[in-house]
Structure 1
Amino acid sequence: MSSQKKATVVSTSVATLLLIIKLLIGVASGSVAVLASAIDSLLDMLVSVLNFFAIKKSEENPDEEYHYGKGKVQAIAAVIEGTVITMSGIYIIYEALKKLTKGGETTMLAPSFLAMLLSIFITYGLVKYLLKIAKETHSLVIKADALHYQTDLWSNGAVLVALGLVWISGYDEIDAIIGLAIGLYIIYSAFEIIKEGIQILLDKALDGKIVASIGEILSKHPEITSYHWLRTRSDGTTNFVEFHMVLRPNMYLLEAHRIADEVEEKMMELDKKKRWIITPHFDPYDDEAVNEALLNGTSLVEQSPVKG
């Protein structure tokens, strides 16, 4: 089992444990904040199960139907996870507003406080583990999971504060107000997860610094006259690069292949933790203008966003 799959199994197990603890205490005490945290743990568990199957599918090798593999499954899972997080935030806001308008009493403050304190310690350990795996694998799904549990840390801390203030002051409205704040924060945290997943699905270019470094590699090679039509994208686990490089017209194919190997090797050094699929095109002269004319006339060729 890969480290990514193990991470999802661990996060699912932790979420299940936290769900049981929070749900029992939340229902018994009537605390909106604790119940909201329990609902969040339920969604954590479901999302972690989804992530396991997403990673399993994304790790499948390319086949006759999917020539580039299924790496974008992770981006789809990240968008789903972000949407689920948003929905949980909306539900928490609903429960908080209901308690503010209709009222309600928070009981069993001491057990609730201890349950949330235990939850914080367990979640902190899980976040450290997930961040370690995300750094090692560059997995968008694990990164999203780590971010999700980081928001749980903050929300659990807020629940502790709410319970403490209710305990001291006796005002149950504090529990609802902090529950409302937790819901808003959860929705805010989901935005980046959804955004990054959508960017991958829309084939956003690689990071600007990496694209600039790729251009520099091509520009500085002594046997490459110029380059054009540099295009990049990522599916979350693999970086894809395409470009046209202009070489001497009388160059042997063997030499051109050697040059391509040299620049590809340097490009792969830019991010050793990801797979690379690099597709060079050899030109005997700069035909970018010709291709642009074809584009304007027949739309047979796409225009490159980066010029050399």
Structure 2
Amino acid sequence: MANSTRMNLSAGIASSLVALTLVGLKIWALGDTRALSVGASLIDSAMDLMISLGGLAAIAYAARPADEDHAFGHSSAEDLAALGQSLFIMVSAGVITWASVARLLSDTPTELANERRGIVVMVVSIILTVCLVLWQRHVAKRTGSRVVAADSLHYLGDLIPNLGAIASLWASVAFGLTSIDSIVAIGAALMLVVGALNIFRGAFNALMDRAADDDMIAGIEDVIRDFPGVHGFHDLKTRMAGSVTFVNVHIELDGRQTLDEAHTIGAALRREILKAFPNTDVLIHKDPVGVEPHPEDPSRR
């Protein structure tokens, strides 16, 4: 858990620093080239900075240990942040699409200047963005953080507008064309919407206590089923909160064992599940083999 938190924080800090650097570079490029495509990319980077700072705050808050008011920790803050990020991405995609269509329909061409300097800035932006996305994807795969995944998606979407800005600047130099970036921007906006919907769905499901995916549940069942000393199990329940999956399960043990022996088996099983699925919080209840629930047990109703 501690290692996952450090990785998530490193991704959040890197994201904020890259966004801040890109904003500074694009402010200079916009003033030098007067290119609207660079201006649109600047606005996108400014939004990236706000989202990255918000995501970093959510990751830091989610890393706080459990307390009296939040006995299961604060990891749901990641889902709230991812939900907000996905909505923000969809709104941004709508704005980009509207601006691109308006530019395509406009009869007034955009006058550009110093296009080559602008191209250099956009190339540097792409290099920084690619490095950041590669690191974020590595972190998201290791930790399962939806905040990092959403931030990675947003930066990945930036690559196409940046390429569009380069194409627009090059086309302006070579052929006097200024509309290519608008077409590319519409494609990028559609890609952003599809990815944002996936992030939104995952965050919403986690906030609604949706169970873990079928592969993970099957994997947990395999660990329990083959574990020495466990004669069976039932009532396996899972729920997601941020990058943490909570696992509750009842295992069936030989009722003639001592409490120490039963505890040893349960503790070893918990370690095995955590080893197979690191970002989990596991609670194991021990039942004697063949025990029947009490008629007044609420779980029977």
Give the TM interval when normalised to the shorter protein: 0.7 to 0.9
Q: Describe the shift of the 1:216–1:188 C-alpha distance in structure 2 as closer, same or farther (beyond 3 A).
A: closer
**Separation in structure 1 between the aligned mates of residue 62 and residue 175 of structure 2, nearest angstrom:** 51
**Separation in structure 1 between the aligned mates of residue 141 and residue 256 of structure 2, nearest angstrom:** 46
Q: Describe the shift of the 1:11–1:168 C-alpha distance in structure 2 as closer, same or farther (beyond 3 A).
A: same
**Separation in structure 2 between the aligned mates of residue 26 and residue 115 of structure 1, nearest angstrom:** 10
Tell me how far 1:24 sits from its aligned partner: 4.7
**Separation in structure 2 between the aligned mates of residue 132 and residue 222 of structure 1, nearest angstrom:** 34
AA at the equivalent of 2:65: N
Query: Is 1:280 equivalent to 2:285 in the alignment?
Result: yes
On the 8 A contact 2:262/2:286 being kept in 1, the answer is no
Query: Is 1:11 equivalent to 2:20 in the alignment?
Result: no
Tell me how far 1:23 sits from its aligned partner: 4.1
**Separation in structure 2 between the aligned mates of residue 104 and residue 125 of structure 1, nearest angstrom:** 37
Q: 1:117 aligns with which of 108, 118, 123?
A: 123
* Superposed CA offset, 1:29-56 (max 9, x none): 5544322222211111001111121111
AA at the equivalent of 2:120: L
The residue aligned with 1:216 is: 222
AA at the equivalent of 2:181: D
On the 8 A contact 1:133/1:142 being kept in 2, the answer is yes
The residue aligned with 1:141 is: 147
Tell me how far 1:6 sits from its aligned partner: 3.8
The residue aligned with 1:265 is: 271
Q: Describe the shift of the 1:131–1:171 C-alpha distance in structure 2 as closer, same or farther (beyond 3 A).
A: same
With normalisation by structure 1, the TM-score equals 0.83
The residue aligned with 2:185 is: 179
Gaps of 5+ in 2: none
**Separation in structure 1 between the aligned mates of residue 136 and residue 251 of structure 2, nearest angstrom:** 41
Tell me how far 1:265 sits from its aligned partner: 1.9
**Separation in structure 2 between the aligned mates of residue 209 and residue 260 of structure 1, nearest angstrom:** 23
Q: Describe the shift of the 1:224–1:128 C-alpha distance in structure 2 as closer, same or farther (beyond 3 A).
A: closer
AA at the equivalent of 2:196: A
The residue aligned with 1:78 is: 82
Q: 2:97 aligns with which of 74, 93, 98?
A: 93
Q: Describe the shift of the 1:100–1:27 C-alpha distance in structure 2 as closer, same or farther (beyond 3 A).
A: farther
Tell me how far 1:284 sits from its aligned partner: 4.3
Tell me how far 1:200 sits from its aligned partner: 1.9
On the 8 A contact 1:78/1:193 being kept in 2, the answer is yes
AA at the equivalent of 2:43: I
Tell me how far 1:238 sits from its aligned partner: 2.7
The residue aligned with 2:201 is: 195
**Separation in structure 1 between the aligned mates of residue 226 and residue 191 of structure 2, nearest angstrom:** 47
* Superposed CA offset, 1:128-178 (max 9, x none): 333344445443322322232122223312332233334433333323222
Q: Describe the shift of the 1:29–1:95 C-alpha distance in structure 2 as closer, same or farther (beyond 3 A).
A: farther
**Separation in structure 2 between the aligned mates of residue 212 and residue 141 of structure 1, nearest angstrom:** 26
* Superposed CA offset, 1:254-297 (max 9, x none): 3322221222122112123x25332324244254xx68x979xx
**Separation in structure 2 between the aligned mates of residue 237 and residue 282 of structure 1, nearest angstrom:** 30
Structure 2 residue matching 1:301: 3-state secondary structure: helix
Q: 1:54 aligns with which of 45, 55, 58?
A: 58
On the 8 A contact 2:238/2:245 being kept in 1, the answer is yes
Gaps of 5+ in 1: 304-308
**Separation in structure 2 between the aligned mates of residue 239 and residue 36 of structure 1, nearest angstrom:** 39
The alignment yields a C-alpha RMSD, in angstroms, of 2.8
* Superposed CA offset, 1:205-249 (max 9, x none): 233233112212222235333221111123233331111222334
The residue aligned with 2:160 is: 154
